[in-house]
Amino acid sequence: MIRAIIFDLDGTLVQTEALKAISYARAAKQLKPELNEDDVVTRYDDMIGRSRNEVAEALVERFGLNVTWQGLIDIRMKIYDAMLADPKLVKQQEYPYATGLLRKVKALGYPTGLCTMSYAPETAVVLRTLDIARYLDVVVTRDQVSRPKPDPEIYHLAASKLNVQPAECLVVEDSEPGVDAAVAAGTQCVVVPSDLTRDRVLAHTPLKGEVIVNDPADLDRTVLRLLGR
């Protein structure tokens, strides 16, 4: 029996992954003006769902940036924070089919959680801008766990905070690392890939406990069916 619903944030409730990709590309170009920003975006897209440190390390190595991974993060965060400070831009990235589902399952009485590889300050800005924090009982961010997705730690922690077992949770994700983390934690996982993650999600064989929803219009009824409603 499903007793709680847990959502991913970036790429699931809101397409901030696209903004993150642009922020990394602009930061890399500041450091190396001859770079093509599209190349950086493409490389970032291959790592969606990975931790900030992993992404920065990979980009520094791939593009020969004369900076430490932390240096790249520092430059990139100034750009990304400026993006998040624009409410209109953030709202344009919202996925109404997913935020609508969040509101619906909350109205049905299910405890709800959020598990994200974003850090607490950025997460708070996005939740406030989209006005969805009040629909979440538990929010677990990257800075609350020692190991990033695809490690299951973040979903174990969320289930514990929701006072349920992982097997009693239904997770809504969009990327391979997120699905891997949810399934490894012992939850059931509905994955609704975005344009940035679809190819990689559809290329792998579904894991036990994974349900792929390729058309976002099917997300609502798929989740409600799994809930027995």
pLDDT, tens digit (0-9, with 9 covering 90-100), for 156-170: 999 999 999 999 999
pLDDT at residue 229 above 90?
no
* CA 12 and chain centroid, separation: 6
Q: How far apart are CA 94 and CA 180, in angstroms?
A: 24
Of 57, 89, 121, the one marking the end of a domain is: 89
Q: Which residues contact 207 (CB under 8 A, 6 or more apart)?
A: 179, 180, 183, 189
Of 69, 89, 109, the one marking the end of a domain is: 89
- 169-173 β-sheet, strand order: 138-140, 112-115, 4-7, 169-173, 188-191, 210-212
Give a three-class secondary structure readout of 162-181: CCCCHHHEEEEECCHHHHHH
Helices 52-63, 69-84: axis angle to 10 degrees equals 120
51 and 108 belong to one structural domain: no
102 and 82 belong to one structural domain: no
Tell me the β-bridge partners of 118: none
Number of structural domains the chain divides into = 2
Of 89, 116, 139, the one marking the end of a domain is: 89
The three-class DSSP label of residue 154 is helix
Q: How many residues does the chain have?
A: 229
82 and 132 belong to one structural domain: no
79 and 188 belong to one structural domain: no
Q: Output the pLDDT for position 204.
A: 85
pLDDT, tens digit (0-9, with 9 covering 90-100), for 133-152: 999 999 999 999 999 999 99
Q: Output the pLDDT for position 49.
A: 85
Amino acid occupying residue 32: K
**Phi and psi angles of residue 99, each rounded to the nearest 5 degrees, phi first:** -65, -30
Q: Which domain holds residue 39?
A: 16-89
192 and 125 belong to one structural domain: yes
pLDDT, tens digit (0-9, with 9 covering 90-100), for 58-102: 999 999 999 999 999 999 999 999 999 999 999 999 999 999 999
pLDDT, tens digit (0-9, with 9 covering 90-100), for 11-41: 999 999 999 999 999 999 999 999 999 999 9
Q: Output the pLDDT for position 190.
A: 98
Check: CB of residue 94 under 8 Å from CB of residue 100: no
Q: Output the pLDDT for position 144.
A: 98
Q: How far apart are CA 212 and CA 78, in angstroms?
A: 35
CATH of the domain at 182: 3.40.50.1000
Q: Output the pLDDT for position 174.
A: 96
Q: How far apart are CA 54 and CA 36, in angstroms?
A: 21
104 and 185 belong to one structural domain: yes
151, 156, 157, 160: CA torsion to nearest 10: 180
Mean pLDDT of 100-123: 97
Q: How far apart are CA 37 and CA 49, in angstroms?
A: 20
142 and 214 belong to one structural domain: yes
User: In whole numbers, what is the pLDDT of the chain averaged over residues?
Assistant: 96
